[in-house]
Amino acid sequence: MFEVTLLALLLLATWFWLDSISKREIAIHFGRELANRCNLQLLDETVACNMIRLGRDSRGHAQLLRFYEFEVSASGAERMQCNLQLLGKQLQTWHIPPYIQPLQ
């Protein structure tokens, strides 16, 4: 019985790890897309998950809600803290602070 429980926990941990890696790639994609839309540069692949909790989608199904932080720059010199939320694979909310565009 102990071995079955241990195996189940190991499989659950492996699934969570692989799922987290794939969701981070999705968050990087959304971060880069949002930064491009705002004429900003996503810095150093800085997307990092800082919180995970349960959320519900539009059909009421429970999914993991992940909160990611990332940094962008308008000129390459300063950094701005931004964030986004993923519910499953879907972008829920995002925030990029106001900034002044550098003259070109």
User: Given 3-state DSSP classes, what are the helix, strand and coil percentages for the chain, each rounded to the nearest 5?
Assistant: 35, 35, 30
Nearest-CA neighbor of 84 among 70, 63, 98? Answer: 70
Domain layout of the chain by residue ranges: 2-95
pLDDT tens digit string along 36-92? 999 999 987 789 999 999 999 989 999 999 999 999 998 777 899 999 999 999 999
- CA-based radius of gyration for the chain: 17
Question: What local confidence, expressed as pLDDT, does residue 69 receive?
Answer: 97
Which pTM value belongs to this model? 0.86
pLDDT tens digit string along 5-26? 999 999 999 999 999 999 999 9
